[in-house]
Structure 1
Amino acid sequence: LIARELPVIPHCTEDALSAKGVNTRVDLMEIESLARERIVREHALAGVTFTSPKTVAVDADVEIGEDTVIAAGVALYGSTRIGARCTVGPNVTATDATLGDEVTVSHAVLTDCRAADRVKIGPFAYLRPGTEVGEGAKIGTYVEIKNSVIGAGAKVPHLSYIGDADVGEGANLGASAITANYDGRQKHRTKIGKGVHTGVHNSFVAPVTIGDDAYTGAGSVIREDVPEEALGIARAPQKNIEGWARRKKHEKPSG
């Protein structure tokens, strides 16, 4: 500029980082690293504990409550809000998620979802957009939830997919619960009432409603509504064929 006889106006700043130029990807990485360190430091000064600060990424608009612990490998993006006295991590990615107070979450992916106070999530859980988890509920290992409301105190503890569903307060879904919500053209909702207990390996073919305090038998494919306080069973009866293994052992191979 001087060589071209153009004006050069100095500008004083107390923040050297804001004046640092970015001309290469290496420059960009250095700036991002410094910015992350600054954000983490600000949260730490406000009462948040980071057990492994160099492994954490926190966006500028993220809010974290006092006495919350952020473990290694945590990434908090967008407008994520985390309450007080939570334990987040290790290995959690949250984008535009809202967590209440005293929430525990580990090894999980949370996207555009909400969890109330004292919820437990993970390990290895996936909460997708539109999910709302009520106070004191549990979302356990290898559980995926999408566009569903999980009532207060309800439990979805193991190996389940819950999509487009309303699960009542205090319900307990057995391992491998599946809501079959898509008929090939459109999505349908499953409604599971308060205090319901479902057996292991249950599929719920939506639209379907399970009434309050009802039970469903293990291995059932529930296609019809189950009334309140009823037991719904939908499976083929077991058949035992005596001596089958002995005869099979002595069969001659075909061909």
Structure 2
Amino acid sequence: MVAVAILAAGRGTRMKSDLPKVLHSLGGRSLVERVLNSCFSIQPSRRIVIVGYRGDLVRESLQSDTDVEFVEQTQQLGTGHAVQQILPHLEGFEGNLLVLNGDVPLLRPQTIKMLLQTHTENGNAATILTAHLPNPKGYGRVFCDGQNLLKQIVEDRDCTPAQKQNRRINAGVYCFHWPSLAEVLPRLKAENDQQEYYLTDAVNYLEPVMAVDVEDYQEILGINDRKQLATAYQILQTRVKDDWMAAGVTLIDPDSITIDDTVQLEPDVVIEPQTHLRGQTVIQAGSRIGPGSLIENSQLGEKVTVFYSVVTDSVVAAGTRIGPYAHLRGHVNVGTGCRIGNFVEMKNTTLGDKTNVAHLSYLGDATLGNRVNIGAGTITANYDGVNKHPTHIGSNTKVGSNSVLVAPVTLGEDVTVAAGSVVTEDVPKDCLVIARSRQSVKHGWRIKSQKDETAGG
């Protein structure tokens, strides 16, 4: 059995924010969410998050994950002190404890699995994750024997010139045999400049302790300020985009594209420059997205094209063309083979198959059938100042340019709405509706000028 403890009590003063550091977002997920997700592959029996500064916000952010336990660290007195807080909660637990940091979000699941496997196969009292940094200045150095058994950890300021040549550092990620750790935790002392209890001190009381090197040192980079958050995002983006290109997705200009790691893409999807894919987005094979588009929490079918447009919280079926400068939001559902064109906005609207809304239109709270054509400049007036109202348009109906459909209103099938109409009442099927004033022409009429008025006097 293995339990996981995530240290998430600190404020993160260098972030310059009232938000706890572990709740800052990285690629669509909070830092602590990423750390929790990295543990799924080892199937822990317990997952404990140690909270402190604004712990209520951390609890609230993770409330949908009902298996997470929370332990309060009312005073932040170091990593050793944080783990001391879980002593009562793991009383009688005989397994291993994996200790992770809530502000180290780039650890790969396979790294955690390797750490745990090394720990259990060797029967270690503790196993620490280490990394070889290009510039280890400021980090404590880890010294081991030929079998990777720990000999000592020397702080940077205490290293001799020869010891500083060692680039192996402590990553701050540990796996402990819990009964052994529980025995030594009460013996920790705050005999240092910070007057804090360090988990590294517990390692000195345990034996055997083994070090495991992480393959990519970038995995253990922590987040302490906004610049490091941006660096972590770039690392995450490189991983995500490399994986998708290896899976058969074309990224025309990877440096100008961003893709959340929650997004799912199929082979032969093409992503154009300056395009951003967010949240729970799924894009099926053969679709072409961008340039200059944002897709968020939406599902796009096969061979969909989106050009200079925004699609959020919507579903678009196969073969539909969107853009340029279209905006779909608030649960739009588009059928197959549709055309949504220049400067069209749609909200909470459903389109049937082969329906076109090509130019300068707004459809809100509307349901359209198949093969409907919406002329340029048409809007649904769905809001009366208090409530929203629906518009229903039957299949094969054609709405002329510059028309207003005042909701609630229903147009039947095979209806033609004359251009410039303001439709306020329901229209039965197979009709022509003309809702505009008759044209009046006054011959010889012109606006009187000031000169004419003077002459007439």
Does residue 1:230 correspond to 2:425, yes or no?
no
Q: CA deviation at 1:190?
A: 0.4
- Identify the residue that residue 98 of structure 2 maps to in structure 1: none
Secondary structure of residue in 1 paired with 2:452: coil
- Identify the residue that residue 68 of structure 1 maps to in structure 2: 269
Percent identical among aligned pairs is: 39
Count, aligned residues: 254
- Identify the residue that residue 186 of structure 2 maps to in structure 1: none
Q: CA deviation at 1:21?
A: 2.3
Structure with higher helix content: 2
Q: CA deviation at 1:14?
A: 2.1
- Identify the residue that residue 201 of structure 2 maps to in structure 1: 6
Secondary structure of residue in 1 paired with 2:427: coil
- Identify the residue that residue 104 of structure 1 maps to in structure 2: 305
What do residues 189-217 of structure 1 show as CA deviations (whole Å, max 9, x unaligned)?
10011000111000001111111011001
- Superposition TM-score, scaled by structure 1 size: 0.94
How many angstroms apart in 2 are the aligned matches of 1:227 and 1:187? 23
Does residue 1:36 correspond to 2:237, yes or no?
yes
Q: CA deviation at 1:252?
A: 2.5
Secondary structure of residue in 2 paired with 1:252: helix
- Unpaired runs of 5+ residues, structure 1, are none
- Identify the residue that residue 375 of structure 2 maps to in structure 1: 174
Q: CA deviation at 1:236?
A: 0.8
- Identify the residue that residue 87 of structure 1 maps to in structure 2: 288
Superposition map of 1:1-255 within 5 A: 4=192, 6-7=201-202, 10-245=211-446, 248=448, 251-252=452-453
- Unpaired runs of 5+ residues, structure 2, are 1-139, 141-153, 156-191, 193-199, 204-208
Bigger shift: residues 31-40 or 166-175: 31-40
Q: Over the residues paired in the alignment, what is the CA RMSD in angstroms?
A: 1.9
What do residues 55-110 of structure 1 show as CA deviations (whole Å, max 9, x unaligned)?
01100110111111100111101100001001100011111011000000011111
Q: CA deviation at 1:243?
A: 0.7
Q: What amino acid maps onto 1:187 in structure 2?
A: K
- Superposition TM-score, scaled by structure 2 size: 0.53
Secondary structure of residue in 2 paired with 1:184: coil
How many angstroms apart in 2 are the aligned matches of 1:17 and 1:107? 34
Q: CA deviation at 1:24?
A: 2.4
Secondary structure of residue in 2 paired with 1:84: coil
How many angstroms apart in 2 are the aligned matches of 1:18 and 1:11? 13
How many angstroms apart in 1 are the aligned matches of 2:434 and 2:410? 14
What do residues 26-75 of structure 1 show as CA deviations (whole Å, max 9, x unaligned)?
22211111210110110000000011100011001101111111001111
How many angstroms apart in 2 are the aligned matches of 1:28 and 1:190? 46
Q: What amino acid maps onto 1:6 in structure 2?
A: D
Q: CA deviation at 1:11?
A: 4.4
Q: CA deviation at 1:18?
A: 1.6
| Larger RCO (CA under 8 A, 6+ residues apart) | 2
How many angstroms apart in 2 are the aligned matches of 1:252 and 1:31? 75
What do residues 134-162 of structure 1 show as CA deviations (whole Å, max 9, x unaligned)?
00011111000000101100000000000
Q: What amino acid maps onto 1:107 in structure 2?
A: Y
Secondary structure of residue in 2 paired with 1:127: strand
